[in-house]
Structure 1
Amino acid sequence: MLTFTSYTVENLRDPFGILSGKRYEFMINLDVPEEDELYEENGVSARVIFKVEEEKSAIVSYDLLETTTGRVLDFDMEEDEEAALALFCTEHLPE
């Protein structure tokens, strides 16, 4: 199971008013156990685009990155990990 260690969140502006709802970009540092296939010596972060529209919220997209270099990792999270990530984003939305 992944542990979220720190994060930043930023409101993404839609200058043309094309998108419905609000979008947020989360940068979340992950604590990945060494035995996990996601493990990277330089750390792993997730860049998440999260959508909030009325009472619904969901992950639009995410990338896993090597924290130090920003290199995109070619891995996908498992369903339970994605669900935990979505819950984390929901609980840490800006007021």
Structure 2
Amino acid sequence: MVEIEAYEVEKVKDPFGILTGERYEFKLEIEVAEDDELYVEGGLYIRVIYRVDGEDGKIVRYALHERINDKFVDAELEDEEERMLESFCGEHFSEAEE
């Protein structure tokens, strides 16, 4: 299981108005137990694109990266971890700067 240690959130601009809803980009620094298959020495972070359209919000995509060198990690979170991530984003997207 992953634990969120710190985060940043930013509203993504859509200058052409092509996409419906609002997009937010999260950078979530996570802690992973050493015995977890996701564990990487130096730590990981997750970049998340979260879409809000009216009352509905959902993750569009996410990617894991190593903190030290920003290298992409080709792995997926478990369903429970994805639900936790989506819930977290739903609770914090409104903190983004306009």
Following superposition, the deviation at residue 68 of structure 1 comes to 1.3
Alpha-carbon distance in 2 for matches of 1:67, 1:53: 31
Partner of 1:25 in structure 2? 25
Percent identity between the aligned chains? 45
DSSP 3-state at the match of 1:16? coil
- In the alignment, the residues of structure 2 paired with residue 57 and residue 11 of structure 1 have an alpha-carbon distance, to the nearest angstrom, of 14
Could you say what the CA RMSD is over the residues aligned between the two structures, in angstroms?
Answer: 0.7
Q: Does 1:54 align with 2:54?
A: yes
Match of 2:90 in 1: 90
**Shift in Å, 1:87:** 0.6
Q: Which runs of 4+ in 1 moved over 4 A?
A: none
- Work out which structure has the larger RCO, using CA pairs closer than 8 Å and 6 or more positions apart in sequence: 2
CA shift at 1:48, angstroms?
Answer: 0.1
Q: Distance in 2 between matches of 1:52 and 1:67?
A: 27
Q: Deviations over 1:48-77 (max 9, x none)?
A: 000000010000000000011110001001
AA paired with 1:40?
Answer: V
Structure 1: tracts of 5 or more residues without a match: none
**Which blocks of at least 5 consecutive residues in structure 2 are unaligned?**
none
Equivalent residue for 2:74? 74
Q: Deviations over 1:10-63 (max 9, x none)?
A: 000001000000000000000100000000001110000000000100000000
User: Aligned partners of 2:24, 2:73: CA distance in 1, in Å?
Assistant: 21
Q: Number of paired residues?
A: 95
1:10 aligned onto 2:10: yes
